Structure 1
């Protein structure tokens, strides 16, 4: 009978390749010493790699590294091995921990229960399970023959009675029974097959479902063999049920399914699988189209190219590994979201919480109502724009004349999401004119050698506490251009550009190193190694553009969306308060956190939108080149991300979304008094209006016919991009009347 603590007895129940067993084996090689002291991640990675090299050397079966990392364990680096180890460490997080010094160890409460013989038992347990895993890979069933039998006979079978037909028996009973014999298809996995009820189905199927996710093919996520209507192909797919979503209407259902596909592809590797839309089940649309939208990944097999049983089962095993991993991470997500609502003071685990576009729309509408009830009104789709801008990049600038509610917008937006000054999730930092270097914001080391944290550092330290990592934190830099932004904010601007993923977190380079933090006075609760900008912090600067302030450089403008507050309607009165005013609701940081850091992360999913957006930016860049004001890849990527989020959540019309990006990312770069500036403004105006409106030489002499229709805010002439056209008309008029123009002139 096992003497292991209960927490260690079923740790290999769900296997993700052989990695979990190998990891535990490598973590216990030196017995009690390893268990008590842990093993540094570099040493553990070396042991992990050596473990596979030794097995390979003596001819034992092994799992090769993921194909995107390398071909063999002999050629990959320790850094690459550490990347591979992230998944098994994450899968074993209930019993393992990695501390600030990158030492991996069993959790202390488990270590206190173990003695030497139990550690030996744990190592033997890992070895047995690893051997059983490799033995299971060689298990075989006549899957190839069964699939071909369905494909060769189904068209004829549909002309015959379904009752007790051999093909009905094959799909409903024989193949599911064979699949259940495989050692890796056990509870909670269940297998069902169908050729229709009473009448033959157009698309027969054999599904493998995790009972913890779904027991029906009408909803949830599952694996399924789907046969094309003409029986030319069968697809092994990681799929979502479409019947229940379609009850909400086709448009809403398709958007929901597409969003789910994006989210799931982010949390499981799906190595070597197809992730495109080329799954053709029927020519008649209907459910075939819906399955296209809901497919997360697939393998395709045709009659002519049906692989061997060994390859079919290897593909099936890979698909089940990914499905099992998704089930584990989904459970962690559900637990974390429950904790967020029920135990707000408890330790919270950051996980991807799957937001669909309907929830985002509802949340944005709640924010707008919350703000309106408190007596503040903002024009058009400004709140939607503000949300999309923060989602695109956690640094946004609100610019305009004094008294338009810029600071109030930040405060109310944060409050609507449960972030207040009282719970320290909102901080207002007034910028002083004498700030000249980053120490005014970040902090400094005094003469006694102690680190004195600045106002921004205090918020970052709070946001990085383990219990707070899933809460959003808002920092409002009020009147941030009273001092030169490039001077006091330079470190932050540079570090924001170092964002990268580590597991499911987005991290940056260090702002304040550990050795400096340790000199800071604290009450003993500080548990942070190096200070970074965590992914739950959002920076918003407010600026008034007048003679007392400093202009922005392109370095700043490239890194932010600039929302303008210059068009004011004084007759826009506050909403009357009702008895039941809209209350704030705490939301996870994932509501605002970026999903993409590099365009390659999004390109395959949104290729058409990225190409069309980039095509327009190429036109704009050709115009801007005359001033050397053209944009680079950073701006292109940010605009594409904004457009992708907007399409996903359906907050703005596509043209309106691109219009905001022209206004916020392109036009702030233009200023000057030369004819070149005028030619660029004219060309951009023509681009935004969508028509030429006269020759360039004539318009250079007098461009009033371009800007006169836009002088009244109450009138909006027809234009492809009206917001940008209005701003360009204003800039063009100022250039003709004053001899100088800038986006920032009020």
Structure 2
């Protein structure tokens, strides 16, 4: 039998084996005693016996917390009860605890009888075996890579910086390898750097919990720091230094960092790690800054690196301390006020990783009886994150409006609480007053529906909540006529005091009464408002200008599989999970904001766009800096959260940002489409022959199936369709369905 919904993913996120061993211990005791309520003492004894048995037989097993002991044989059952607090809390959806310190499974599991318990037992054993296999068989050698860096970095600094293999190792190879460790959770972002355009004095590899910080410039994280002379490398529990020093100056910034060091050292066990300021990296620059900010460290000399097992064990132990700190920060994030450095998101703490949040949203939508193609939810999220304006295009009845509504509801934004607004567009809209409002004959301002939403979203108590505005059938009227003011104001976004702000949408001077001026005067677009437009392309609608297309991702809904039936709906099993605005809010506004940590990816993306621009110039459809930045941000967010491959992400950007610009009837349009098809196929194409005869591509499915390993398959399919329409109708456009 299949497991109930609430059990199917309880082990999906794991840093250790504790959750699986806990469940197996409880089921084992129940089988022996038939007692549903099991004392925590009995569970702790069983748990400890399991770990000691594996340790005694030299089988792979998690090491105990470094604050207790180095081996399970040195751990007591009383200490195990403290260890169990975390997995018990993580499994609170299936476990309950009474006032006699006994644990039991929830009624839903007991009601399923022995069949459910047996399947749960099998599930736990499978996940445990998979975890141990991953722990044991990880082919990535941390020692080899650290050793290679220490041996070659000084020589590499004498060589050209661009495209150097050592840079690739820092930015890609090592982060990908470290993410394979089972104790590196989905919340952890691994990032390395050898500098920006020039070799860094102190290269580094950081592990950041994205719930705490998204950058090495602020917050706390783990980081490997390499000494300038490459005599040693330090695994450190550290802090970002750039923001404190920038905000307070070097002297006051150092004081802040040192105070934070003292605070964290008192809070965490940090057993086995050195806790002093004698870390020797360099005598000046950022290296000196990190010496001031280091909480704890382990030093590895280049001529005496430990074995790989020891290096990994040290990283796991420090990660345990780091996670203790992260949990404490999350618990107090809404209560503490930092008098020295204001927390940029003190009122909005995301407790789920991006993949966990998207999985929850997908499950919520499926539970409501709707099913969308694989990858659509991820694409929708990335599009919103890139720019708060997304167009959903396609034939009528494909679920465009429903996707927006369900996505919003999954995040806790509903019509009832005012965080979701559906605004039907009328064909007679000719200026912004239909959305923003107007002054009546008496001079009183009559706000439009959009203005009302912006006003509510701008209230201080609502700034951490996302608001969704869906313009239904937005091209029934000319978008440039009624929406141009908003598009222009969106382009004025800038960072102000940790928030994204825009120029005023409604000028106070344009309002007559003092009451209107106080309420709506200088109202802007807050960073917690997201615009979606649904589009049906037929003879009753209007096309989009490049001004609109440049500012939005266009997601198409034209390929429909009617045989895809919804899963059985189980009412009430999956509810919304309120999400903070930080989940969707852009992290970057200008490309320079992202350059420091994403230079290589931005360069690769820009080169690909430059290749496309060379093709598009033939019909004056080439793109500018705005599109370049938008595509780069999309690619950065995708890689950061590992949602799809780089080719899959760029395929979607080609489909959503480039192809919507193409329309016409000339032979130049045909040649451009064929050149783009060649890029998508990533192989030679007989363009001159196809300019004369397009019949080989008439049958879209047959043509594409004949091509193996298409680099950009979704864009290729759309281009083939556009070519066929050009041949048959003498005109083509992305928007023809």
Question: TM-score band (shorter)?
Answer: 0.5 to 0.7
C-alpha distance 670-229 of structure 1, shift in aligned 2 (>3 A): closer
* Preserved contact between residue 437 and residue 488 of structure 1 (Cα < 8 Å): yes
Give the aligned CA root-mean-square deviation in angstroms.
4.6
C-alpha distance 436-406 of structure 1, shift in aligned 2 (>3 A): same
Q: Tell me the residue number matched to 1:400.
A: 394
The answer as to 2:732 corresponding to 1:741 is: yes
| Deviation of the 1:248 alpha carbon | 3.2
Distance 2:611 2:288 in 1: 50
Q: Tell me the residue number matched to 1:726.
A: 717
| Deviation of the 1:737 alpha carbon | 1.3
Match 1:571 to one of 560, 563, 585: 563
* Preserved contact between residue 472 and residue 589 of structure 1 (Cα < 8 Å): yes
| Deviation of the 1:378 alpha carbon | 1.1
Match 1:255 to one of 167, 180, 189: 189
The answer as to 2:310 corresponding to 1:362 is: no
| Deviation of the 1:351 alpha carbon | 3.4
| Deviation of the 1:307 alpha carbon | 6.3
What does the per-residue CA deviation read over 1:635-685, in whole Å, with 9 as the maximum and x for residues that have no partner? 000001001101111111111111000000000000000000000000000
| Deviation of the 1:578 alpha carbon | 2.2
* Preserved contact between residue 278 and residue 291 of structure 2 (Cα < 8 Å): no
C-alpha distance 427-278 of structure 1, shift in aligned 2 (>3 A): same
What does the per-residue CA deviation read over 1:481-533, in whole Å, with 9 as the maximum and x for residues that have no partner? 000000000100100100000011101000012355673868x9x76652000
Distance 2:569 2:281 in 1: 70
Q: Secondary structure at the match of 1:255?
A: strand
The answer as to 2:437 corresponding to 1:443 is: yes
| Deviation of the 1:359 alpha carbon | 1.4
What does the per-residue CA deviation read over 1:32-62, in whole Å, with 9 as the maximum and x for residues that have no partner? xxxxxxxxxxxxxxxxxxxxxxxxxxxxxxx
Deviates more, 1:442-451 or 1:530-539: 442-451
Q: Secondary structure at the match of 2:208?
A: helix
Match 2:545 to one of 544, 553, 556: 553
C-alpha distance 674-459 of structure 1, shift in aligned 2 (>3 A): same
Match 1:612 to one of 604, 609, 626: 604
Matches within 5 A, 1:374-393: 374-393=368-387
C-alpha distance 640-613 of structure 1, shift in aligned 2 (>3 A): same
Distance 2:673 2:509 in 1: 52
* Preserved contact between residue 397 and residue 561 of structure 1 (Cα < 8 Å): yes
Match 1:584 to one of 570, 576, 585: 576
Match 1:463 to one of 457, 473, 482: 457
Q: Secondary structure at the match of 1:733?
A: helix
What does the per-residue CA deviation read over 1:117-148, in whole Å, with 9 as the maximum and x for residues that have no partner? xxxxxxxxxxxxxxxxxxxxxxxxxxxxxxxx
Q: Secondary structure at the match of 1:596?
A: coil
Matches within 5 A, 1:211-250: 248-249=182-183
Match 1:631 to one of 619, 623, 626: 623
Q: Tell me the residue number matched to 2:346.
A: 351
Distance 2:209 2:395 in 1: 43
State the number of aligned residues: 492
Distance 2:288 2:238 in 1: 26
| Deviation of the 1:604 alpha carbon | 1.3
Match 2:448 to one of 449, 454, 457: 454
* Preserved contact between residue 208 and residue 214 of structure 2 (Cα < 8 Å): no
* Preserved contact between residue 710 and residue 716 of structure 1 (Cα < 8 Å): no
Distance 2:608 2:238 in 1: 27
The answer as to 2:705 corresponding to 1:710 is: no
Distance 2:679 2:179 in 1: 41
Q: Secondary structure at the match of 2:577?
A: coil
Q: Secondary structure at the match of 1:375?
A: coil
Structure 2 unmatched ranges of 5 or more: 1-69, 71-145, 155-177, 192-205, 246-253, 255-276, 296-324, 337-342
| Deviation of the 1:595 alpha carbon | 0.3
* Preserved contact between residue 186 and residue 355 of structure 2 (Cα < 8 Å): no
Distance 1:388 1:665 in 2: 13
* Preserved contact between residue 241 and residue 293 of structure 2 (Cα < 8 Å): no
* Preserved contact between residue 367 and residue 571 of structure 2 (Cα < 8 Å): no
| Deviation of the 1:731 alpha carbon | 0.3
The answer as to 2:687 corresponding to 1:692 is: no
Q: Tell me the residue number matched to 2:49.
A: none
What does the per-residue CA deviation read over 1:347-379, in whole Å, with 9 as the maximum and x for residues that have no partner? x995385658x7110110111111111111111
Q: Tell me the residue number matched to 1:152.
A: none
Distance 1:435 1:507 in 2: 27
TM-score by length of 1: 0.58
Distance 1:521 1:571 in 2: 56
Q: Tell me the residue number matched to 1:509.
A: 503
Q: Secondary structure at the match of 1:433?
A: coil
The answer as to 2:521 corresponding to 1:493 is: no
Distance 1:260 1:413 in 2: 28
C-alpha distance 280-668 of structure 1, shift in aligned 2 (>3 A): farther
* Preserved contact between residue 464 and residue 534 of structure 1 (Cα < 8 Å): yes
| Deviation of the 1:542 alpha carbon | 0.2
Q: Secondary structure at the match of 1:441?
A: helix
* Preserved contact between residue 652 and residue 714 of structure 2 (Cα < 8 Å): yes
Matches within 5 A, 1:257-296: 260=208, 279=226
C-alpha distance 693-371 of structure 1, shift in aligned 2 (>3 A): same
Q: Secondary structure at the match of 1:605?
A: helix
Q: Tell me the residue number matched to 2:320.
A: none
Distance 1:482 1:737 in 2: 27
What does the per-residue CA deviation read over 1:416-461, in whole Å, with 9 as the maximum and x for residues that have no partner? 1000000000000000000001111111122211111111101000
Deviates more, 1:528-537 or 1:330-339: 330-339
Q: Secondary structure at the match of 1:494?
A: helix
Distance 2:484 2:400 in 1: 23
What does the per-residue CA deviation read over 1:619-639, in whole Å, with 9 as the maximum and x for residues that have no partner? 111000101100011000000
Structure 1 unmatched ranges of 5 or more: 1-196, 198-225, 234-243, 321-327, 340-347
Distance 1:701 1:245 in 2: 51
Distance 1:455 1:436 in 2: 16
